[in-house]
Chain A
Amino acid sequence: MHELSPMAFAISSSIKVFLVFSVSLAVVAFMTLTERKVAGFIQDRLGPNRVGPFGLLQPVADGIKNFLKEETMPATANRPFFIMAPMLAIIPAVVTFAVIPFAAPLPTPWGVVGMVVADIPIGILYVLALSSLGVYGLFLAGWASNNKYALLGGVRSSSQMVSYEVALGLSLIPVFMLAGNVTLTEIVWQQQLLGMWYLFPLSLAFIFFVISAFAETNRLPFDLPEAESELVTGYHTEYSAMKFSMFMIAEFSHILTASALMATLFLGGWSIPFWSGDHMFWYQGMLISGFGADGAPVAAAPALWITLLTLLSFIVKTLFFILVFMWVRWTLPRFRYDQVMHLGWKVMLPIALAYVMIIAATILVLDQVGIEGFLFGAVLTLVSLLCTGIFVFAVDRDRIISGSTREPAPPAPRSPVPSGAGVRRVLPAGSPASGDL
């Protein structure tokens, strides 16, 4: 199995770019329908069901509607920035999918084609870099509209995204330490070698990544930038027609990319659990399926059916996280702004830092002792489980674990004597709660 010639590489890359771009935009279109269907299911109603069978053509109808609506331009808006903002929002959202591997390499008569648009050596850093640019679209939209609600939405979105980028980056460091590299193909490969999804050995990092991803995509419970009960619709208040639609496409593309990233980083990506037939990785210009007993690489045997099966695995995992995004939206209420900042800076940042140190120390000890393979993962799983337990117990504040079992505290009895400096409190005789004071 050899690598592609430059010509075949160019042609296959063009095809992949076209396919991934159009498929992801189609998925985004149908995610709007899924969201409304899930909302309907959760709220015990039907959801859209008028256009086409089961309402399946609703996204098409929405698209046509958005194309035909009037483009509004506020009189006092800053015209060039107002037009530029939706573009700046949508470009980072649609190009980040390029580095995510979505299936096992595909054998063709011209060589083996990797099922990722661009397997660049910086992998996920590319995603982080581009998604950090998404701030500009939202902030410019809020500022250029010259509308106080839009400006507040823009300020909130950018401060929230900047804050949670820190926690997002810190939650990725344990993954890098375990995988030893930042390319997503290698992260998938290392999970296959370990025989364990990173969800288990790095459970706390997974929780932090999910929380930060919700904040980065501006989804409930972090949708303060477009809090409709306070800010009309936040940064896109003044937008209509396709410009408004572009913000929506950007948000849903972010959800798609975040779901695919969670699946790749923590759920093994396209690999199929409990099966070693799909282990494939480019190692020194050779597609290998693993290392023999003597440490020599063993050549892999890619096949079309393996590629299709792994693609299915990737789609199932990604769709699961997309559903989680929607499920959470219709389950949790919105945070208050100070709660968002408190969680990001005072809770997640220090705990993520401590967790990085704990995981680094554990990996160091395990390497020194010489433990490898499944036991390595099992020890890390135990350590992470302990950290996750402590974290959940600390932030829980008696709500989930013992919230319903504890009796509510009785109201404090009123003292007949006004309390003040030098006045000793006198309790009414026989007060039931006198011991509590």
Chain B
Amino acid sequence: MVDVLFYVFAAVALGGGLGVVLARSPVGSLLFMLATLFSVAGIFVLLEAHFLAAIQVMVYAGAIMVLFLFVIMLLNLGHDFRKDFTFGAGMVAAFVVAGVMAGFLARQFRGSGDHPLYAFFPGPEGMDALLAEQGAVGAIAHPLFTDYVVAFELTGILLLMALVGAIAIAKQRV
């Protein structure tokens, strides 16, 4: 059952990813991206990572993609985007990024190299005990707000800086 669901979600995620690239209209691309994000959330649920799945849908599908929708529908009406995708520097960059990603994936599949985060993974039984004790949210919140609290706060400040910077840049154009 879980296997079947995994293949369904994986197929939808891959199909959605292809759709993002191949769709004619930007809104179509966005909806395909939504399908991909949703399927990845489904795979998270199959992995018992409920919190991650909820956050994936809430933040990416529910908030960020809505902003994309705003930008596509309101700021870019009538703009012919196709000339942005001609061969050139962008295409070269795309191939470089794809190559780097493939390299990362190959490293993961070969199993070589150390996985720093695996040191903290308590194993399936330990995971079940952790979930029963702290709940799905607590299991993520405890390390986030104890061991990694400095990194967490710094990330928050970084995002705030990006936000302030974006507003400062946008203000000049008005």
Contacts and interface: CB of A to CB of B under 8 A. Distances in A.
Interface of A: 78, 81, 84, 120-122, 125-126, 128-130, 132-133, 135-136, 139-140, 143, 155, 158-159, 162, 165, 176, 181-183, 284
B9 to A, nearest CB: 16
A136 B137 contact: no
B74 A155 contact: yes
A183 B66 contact: no
Which of B51, B73, B131 neighbours the largest number of chain A CB atoms within 10 Å of its CB?
A: B73
Nearest to B30: A136
Contact of B62 (A122, A133, A183): A133
Interface string B46-57: 000011011101
Nearest to B58: A129
A183 B63 contact: no
A121 B131 contact: yes
B62 A129 contact: yes
Nearest to B74: A155
A121 B27 contact: no
B165 interface: no
A158 B63 CA distance: 10
B132 A284 contact: yes
A425 to B, nearest CB: 37
A105 to B, nearest CB: 19
Contacts of B51: 121-122, 125
A135 B66 contact: yes
Contacts of A182: 135-137
Contact of A132 (B27, B58, B69, B136): B58
B156 to A, nearest CB: 13
Nearest to A134: B62
A284 B131 CA distance: 11
B13 interface: no
B61 interface: yes
Contacts, number: 74
Given A120-B50, A143-B27, A183 B135 contact: yes
A382 B120 CA distance: 43
Interface of B: 27, 31, 34, 50-51, 53-55, 57-58, 61-63, 66-67, 69-70, 73-74, 131-132, 135-138
B4 to A, nearest CB: 16
Nearest to B137: A182
Contacts of B58: 125, 128-129, 132
B136 A136 contact: no
B31 to A, nearest CB: 8
A128 B27 CA distance: 24
Contacts of A284: 132
Given A81-B27, A139-B69, A155-B74, 14 more contacts: A78-B27, A121-B51, A122-B53, A125-B137, A126-B54, A132-B58, A132-B66, A133-B57, A135-B62, A139-B66, A143-B27, A159-B70, A176-B137, A181-B138
Contacts of A158: 66, 69-70
Question: Chain A at the B interface: mostly helix, strand, loop or mixed?
Answer: helix
A143 B70 CA distance: 11
A123 to B, nearest CB: 9
Contacts of B34: 136
B54 A129 contact: yes
Which of B55, B74, B132, B137 neighbours the largest number of chain A CB atoms within 10 Å of its CB?
A: B137
A162 B27 contact: no
Q: Which 10 A-B pairs have the closest CB atoms?
A: A132-B62, A121-B136, A129-B57, A125-B54, A129-B58, A122-B50, A129-B54, A122-B54, A181-B135, A121-B50
Contacts of B54: 122, 125-126, 128-129
Contacts of B63: 132, 162, 165
Which of B57, B58, B62, B67 neighbours the largest number of chain A CB atoms within 10 Å of its CB?
A: B62
A158 B58 CA distance: 15
Nearest to B56: A129
B57 A132 contact: yes
Contacts of A165: 62-63
Given A132-B58, A165-B63, A121 B135 contact: yes
B57 to A, nearest CB: 4
A140 B31 CA distance: 10
Contacts of B53: 122, 129
16 contacts: A84-B31, A121-B50, A121-B131, A125-B137, A129-B57, A129-B62, A132-B62, A132-B63, A135-B62, A136-B31, A136-B66, A136-B69, A143-B27, A158-B66, A158-B70, A162-B66
